[in-house]
């Protein structure tokens, strides 16, 4: 019996999100991104979205029972590692997981780590976060709580499992990334800023430009908006109020 690539390498596709009062902001976007990645990577883009979700129903996604929780969908192949063809519908496995979220709003400290993502253009949300978690571990060993990935040219990229946004007054900026898939959490934050009359700009940012900003935030679809209190020796204002306003806006969608 062959060993699957999931068992050998942790190979899988996933998406993660959270429920807020029994609803998931941009739930359809999460499902669509998840399907597009799985269909492209495992099925050679042969399936329609309805075919996929009819075969792999999401009946265990219970936002009423779990109204303010973390959810993760993971798809993996049961085929042996030697198989190079697109798999059949019966050859995969969809796992649905959920868990509780911490209630406290805590700021985080970051340490710059050379990014592992400097060569490949990642199109999918891969289930193996080894490189990201290794970077985070290196940052923790240096006394920080997470890693801010920086390119060899000292361009700011992203946090291990989040995008990063910087603020100066009414100016909000996030690094422009050549390799990243669409961040749904970042898109939600962009829409939130637009509701306040602000814009979120994407541009290249040098590590030396940290001093130009007064605050920074980690953004993703699970923890939403987390204030960054420091990046190495650079300290930032921790603007918890904006984080609370963002969550309130999401609950009212």
pLDDT of residue 144 exceeding 70? yes
Task: Give phi and psi for 159, each to the nearest 5.
Answer: -85, 165
pLDDT of residue 119 exceeding 50? no
Please write the tens of the pLDDT for every residue from 174-215.
999 876 668 999 999 999 999 999 999 999 999 999 999 999
| All residues at 6 or more sequence positions from 222 whose CB lies less than 8 Å from its CB, including other chains | 16, 17, 18, 70, 101, 185
Residue ranges of E strands in 78-214: 92-100, 108-114, 146-150, 156-159, 163-168, 171-175, 200-203
Please write the tens of the pLDDT for every residue from 44-92.
889 999 999 999 999 889 999 999 999 999 999 988 655 666 788 999 9
pLDDT of residue 120 exceeding 50? no
Residue 242, strand partner residues: none
Measured between alpha carbons, how far is 70 from 18 in angstroms, rounded to an integer? Answer: 4
Question: Taking the model in full, what pTM does it have?
Answer: 0.91
CB atoms within 10 A of CB 238: 20
> Domains in the chain, start-ordered, CATH in brackets?
5-100 (3.30.470.10), 108-251 (3.20.10.10)
Please write the tens of the pLDDT for every residue from 4-44.
777 777 788 999 999 999 999 999 999 999 999 999 888 98
Measured between alpha carbons, how far is 102 from 26 in angstroms, rounded to an integer? Answer: 22
Measured between alpha carbons, how far is 103 from 127 in angstroms, rounded to an integer? Answer: 26
Task: Give phi and psi for 34, each to the nearest 5.
Answer: -60, -50
């Amino acid at each position: 019996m062959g060993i699957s690539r999931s068992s050998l390498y942790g190979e899988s596709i996933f998406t993660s999100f959270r429920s807020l009062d029994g609803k998931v902001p941009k739930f359809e976007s999460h499902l669509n991104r998840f399907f597009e990645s799985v269909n492209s990577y495992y099925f050679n883009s042969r399936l329609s979205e309805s075919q996929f979700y009819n075969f792999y129903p999401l009946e265990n996604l219970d936002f009423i029972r779990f109204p303010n929780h973390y959810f993760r969908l993971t798809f993996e192949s049961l085929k042996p590692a030697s198989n190079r063809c697109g798999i059949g519908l019966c050859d995969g496995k969809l796992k649905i997981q959920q868990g509780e979220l911490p209630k406290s709003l805590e700021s985080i400290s970051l340490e710059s780590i050379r990014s592992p993502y400097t060569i490949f253009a990642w199109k999918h949300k891969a289930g193996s976060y080894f490189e990201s978690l290794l970077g985070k571990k290196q940052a923790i060993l240096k006394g920080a709580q997470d890693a801010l990935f920086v390119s060899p040219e000292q361009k700011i990229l992203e946090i291990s499992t989040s995008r990063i946004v910087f603020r100066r007054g009414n100016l909000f900026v996030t690094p422009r990334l050549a390799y990243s898939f669409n961040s749904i959490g970042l898109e939600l934050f962009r829409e939130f800023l637009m509701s306040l009359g602000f814009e979120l700009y994407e541009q290249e940012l040098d590590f030396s430009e940290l001093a130009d900003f007064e605050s920074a935030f980690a953004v993703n679809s699970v923890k939403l908006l987390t204030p960054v209190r420091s990046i190495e020796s650079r300290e930032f204002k921790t603007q918890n109020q904006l984080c609370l306003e963002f969550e309130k806006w999401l609950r009212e969608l």
